[in-house]
């Protein structure tokens, strides 16, 4: 129920697709400030080379590590050469840096959650996850922080944390405290994710997307109907009938 594919995160993430835009902006900065120091040129090339390695990678740990590295490089670049940049360009680079870091945090958490976080996790592990999720919940106030695909993975992550934190199988008061904090923060994040997913409408623009693209998107989204919780047996049957019909129609 809570399985999250790390390969899917690499292939489908729009954040990774945004790396091309970051490269273009760095190249623009490079050419705009071509009379500036060689150091600026070298810093831009270093970030572009790191982004190239991310785009070629299918290894989730390597991708996350390099995304964090790129985030750090972008932050350093923005602050180091802020005097050369218009305020708008500075803000864009800082925004990319922050978003990449948040995305990498999600990526790492999702990849670790099944092996690192269980009902019987140690006090140390519970403490680490609690500190991470509380900081993360403070960092996602901006509704445009993530793509819909990443919000969907955050939703799954939050559900996993809530499920584990809800299990009461120990008598240690500190563990109970951490589990309660985990559940509270994960519940907040879950509501945030569900809100962003429901508010993200996929716009069908005639002439912009092919029939095959529209069909593939419909096929991908119809499976989310299976995640809806029915209030009673009658509603469950209706949902099942609708899902069967749509799957036959779209496949």
How does pLDDT run across 12-49, given as a tens digit for each residue?
Answer: 556 666 787 888 888 777 666 555 577 888 888 889 88
- Distances in whole angstroms, Cα of residue 91 to Cα of each of 19, 40, 80, 113: 16, 18, 13, 33
pLDDT of residue 203: 42
Tell me the CA distances in angstroms from 127 to 123, 134, 244, one per residue in order.
6, 11, 44
SS3 label, residue 51: helix
Q: For residue range 116-131, what is the model confidence (pLDDT) as tens digits?
A: 788 888 889 899 899 8
1 with 11, same domain? yes
Q: In terms of residue numbers, what domain contains 225?
A: 202-251
pTM exceeds 0.75 for this model:
no
Domain boundary among 115, 145, 178: 115
- Concatenate the DSSP letters of all residues of 67-90 into one string: HHHHHHHHHHHHHHTGGGS-HHHH
| Statement to judge: residues 62 and 171 lie in one domain | no
Residue with tokens 């994710």: 193
Taking CA atoms, 146 is separated from 96, 141, 192, 206, in Å, by: 11, 11, 11, 26
pLDDT band at 231 (very low <50, low <70, confident <90, very high): low
Residue 75: both structure tokens together: 């932050």
pLDDT at 166 exceeding the cut of 70: yes
129 and 186 part of one domain:
yes
> Do 108 and 121 belong to one domain?
no
């Amino acid at each position: 129920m809570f399985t999250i594919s790390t390969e899917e995160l690499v292939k489908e993430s729009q954040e990774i697709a945004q790396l091309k835009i970051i490269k273009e902006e760095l190249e623009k900065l490079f050419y705009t400030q071509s009379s500036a120091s060689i150091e600026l040129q070298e810093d831009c090339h270093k970030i572009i080379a790191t982004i190239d390695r991310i785009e070629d990678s299918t290894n989730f740990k390597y991708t996350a590590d390099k995304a964090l590295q790129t985030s750090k490089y972008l932050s350093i670049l923005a602050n180091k050469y802020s005097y050369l940049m218009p305020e708008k360009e500075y803000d864009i680079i800082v925004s990319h840096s922050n978003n990449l870091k948040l995305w990498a945090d999600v990526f790492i958490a999702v990849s670790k959650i099944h092996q690192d976080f269980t009902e019987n996790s140690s006090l140390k592990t519970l403490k680490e996850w609690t500190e991470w999720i509380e900081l993360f919940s403070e960092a996602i106030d901006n509704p445009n922080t993530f793509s819909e695909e990443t919000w969907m993975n955050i939703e799954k992550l939050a559900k996993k944390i809530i499920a584990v934190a809800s299990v009461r199988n120990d008598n240690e008061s500190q563990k109970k405290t951490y589990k309660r904090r985990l559940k509270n923060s994960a519940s907040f994040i879950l509501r945030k994710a569900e809100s962003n997913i429901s508010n993200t409408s996929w716009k069908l623009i005639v002439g912009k997307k092919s029939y095959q693209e529209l069909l593939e998107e419909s096929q991908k989204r119809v499976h989310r109907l299976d995640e809806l919780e029915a209030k009673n047996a009658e509603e469950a049957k209706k949902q099942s009938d609708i899902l069967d019909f749509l799957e036959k129609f779209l496949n």
